Structure 1
């Protein structure tokens, strides 16, 4: 009888991991690339690997001239049981539910196969303050070409 709670916990962890993977796989390729870039950036100095858990807000996407787009993503990363150095396929790593979640914002100017500009910020979920939210919004606004005067500067950059 003592093993029943452990079994239920394992089943719950597997279902949560599978649900996150399905959501990730259903996202458009460009959105997955932006999430992957954020995860790569975040994991670059971590011992344990984190991976995408879920979107907090719908992805904001704006089509731009010259086959580009502006992406603004807000999502959660969760720590996994995998060591960063030994991960071959991050999506096969199980989530550690006891660890804090990371609240991430990524804003990108995306070309067809690369990111021209980016802003990435991840903070422990329970430490996100109004100040952090304002800083994120300000940095993403700087990237968005349609903020005050941005489209003119963007167009002139393309011609140079």
Structure 2
């Protein structure tokens, strides 16, 4: 009986972890690249010891001025798993419930679904429990200013006087 319960629990854990991957895979390609960028930056910190997975999106928006260019803003959660940092196959990684969520906001410019290096992509990830209202406002302000830094949307909308 105990073996049966263990089998049922293991299948449920696999389903929950694969469900997280399904949510990630449902994201558009250019949005997924922003999540990957956030995970890359998070994993570059020496204090991070666990593998993280995308949990869910809170807000997504994009501005499409044309010519295959998009400015993307994505607010989402990452969650720690029981797998160690650097795990390549996360299909068997179970979520940890003893760690706070990582609240991330990214904004960046894409050209043909690839992240452009100018303007510099913005990634801000912090434990959800330490995120303040001021930080949220600073994120939005920073991303709003980035969307128009190239001048493209205003340049295309201007009408000459001659």
The TM-score, its normalising length taken from structure 1, stands at 0.78
The question of whether the paired residues in 2 share the 8 Å contact of 1:62 and 1:69 is answered with yes
Distance 2:56 2:124 in 1: 16
CA contact (8 A) 2:43 2:85 kept: yes
- Further displaced range: 129-138 or 61-70: 61-70
User: In the alignment, is residue 118 of structure 1 matched against residue 114 of structure 2?
Assistant: no
Mapped contact 1:51–1:91 kept (Cα < 8 A): no
Structure 2: stretches of 5+ with no match in the other structure: 157-162
Shift in CA distance, 12/114, structure 1 to aligned 2, threshold 3 Å: same
> Aligned-pair RMSD on alpha carbons?
3.0
Give unpaired runs (5+ residues) of structure 1.
155-160
Pick the structure with greater CA Rg: 2
Aligned to 1:52: 54
Q: By how many angstroms is 1:93 displaced?
A: 2.8
Q: How many residues align?
A: 152
Shift in alpha-carbon separation, 1:3–1:133, aligned structure 2, 3 A: farther
The reply on whether 1:22 has 2:25 as its aligned counterpart is no
As a proportion of its length, which structure holds more helix? 1
Offset, 1:7 = 6.2
**CA displacement at 1:10 relative to structure 2:** 4.2
| Distance of 1:115 and 1:91 partners within structure 2 | 30
Question: 2: distance between equivalents of 1:55 and 1:132?
Answer: 18
